[in-house]
Amino acid sequence: MSSLTSSSLTSIVSDNLIHYCSGSIPISFTELNLKQTLLGGQSFRWIEQISNEFIGVLGSYIICLQHINENLHYTFYINISNKNLLNLSNENNRQNETSLILHNYFQLSIKLHDLFQIWCKSDERFQNHLIPIGIRVLAQDPLENLISFICSSNNNVQRITKMIKLLCIEYGKEIGTLNGITYHEFPTIDELDKPNLEKHLRELNFGYRARYIQETIKYLKYTINDLSFFDRLKSLSVKEARIELLKIMGVGRKVADCVLLMSLGKQDVVPVDTHIHSIAVTYYGRRKNLQLTTSNYDEISSFFEQLWKPFAGWAQAAAFSNELRSTSNNKTNIKSRSLKRSISSYETNNQHQLVKCRKKSLSIQQQIKES
């Protein structure tokens, strides 16, 4: 039985999970393509457990979503330890709260149909319906988004999803079990600040990304030491905020741009990976290079920012999600060649060099102290 239909019959779903609130939001299919938005390489916390029913985690909630008859039906679940929340609010207040969470997450105040009409005038691929409408940019938690895209380095969506799930299981708070699957919150900075974090993540097959995650947590907690860090970045210009993000080990231009677009409200930023690079070369006549470099990253990003404005980042999300679906369909029988949502190889190489340089700098500083 679908969890969306059964949840309203009882408040207790499992031993540790209770139903919090259900409701619906009117929204047309032209304003929201739910599947391609949730599974389109932006967030890695959603699964399609049965056809057209999506289950994911936002904060401390497990959420089930279905888009039926141009209504987004939703059900929120919470851990049973939070059952006092049910007594502190009435059903109407809970519906207002949960509806607002989804409005903010899907950024429903932005009218995608109006943007699509503008993009059609500047780009014939939109005009000819080669890029589908309804794909929205998700407004994500900055820490979760940052760690997720650090994990995206030379990786594919399926493996990134597995890595983020493992990270949440190992370090995040358990929310509860729904339909046989146990869900966890994304861990906080304090929960990830463990002396053996890198070692343990390497044991979980995070590879070199384990070092980047550990250094990111240390940097945010001990160097930045400011709970309003990401909020402060929102008030900066794109260039200023990008400079701050690039100071974090493991964060190159692509990762920084994903955080700018998906967590800091910089709607015109166009992240460029190997697939956007391929789109630029194949359909828009950009110069063909075997690899992304700093120079052609800037060129491609600037080109699309001008072509697709306003909200160029949203057009990029649609183009990328469409490429993801097309490539996946072409490779359904070739598992080993699954689509990669990777940062460019130049970023990976630069990150490895950055680690070496920092190690050398620390070694020199230690020698100076000892002398």
Backbone φ, ψ for residue 23 (5° rounding): -175, -170
d(CA 28, CA 33): 9
Is 199 buried (19+), middle (13-18) or exposed (0-12) by CB count in 10 A?
exposed
Cβ atoms within 10 Å of 226's Cβ, excluding its own: 11
Q: CA quadruple 92, 98, 101, 104: dihedral positive or negative? A: negative
CB 72 within 8 A of CB 196: no
Question: Would you name the residues annotated as active-site residues?
Answer: 254
What's the gap between Cα 140 and its chain centre?
6
**Residue found under tokens 């309203």:** 8
In our burial notation (b when 16+ CB lie closer than 10 A, e otherwise), range 89-128 reads eeeeebbeebbebbeebbbbeeebeebbeebbeebebbee
**What is the residue type of 209?**
R
| Angle, alpha carbons 56-57-61 (nearest 5°) | 125
Report the DSSP pairing between strands 53-58 and 47-50: antiparallel
Structure tokens at 119: 């993009």
Q: Which residue has the tokens 């457990």?
A: 49
Longest dimension (CA), the chain: 74
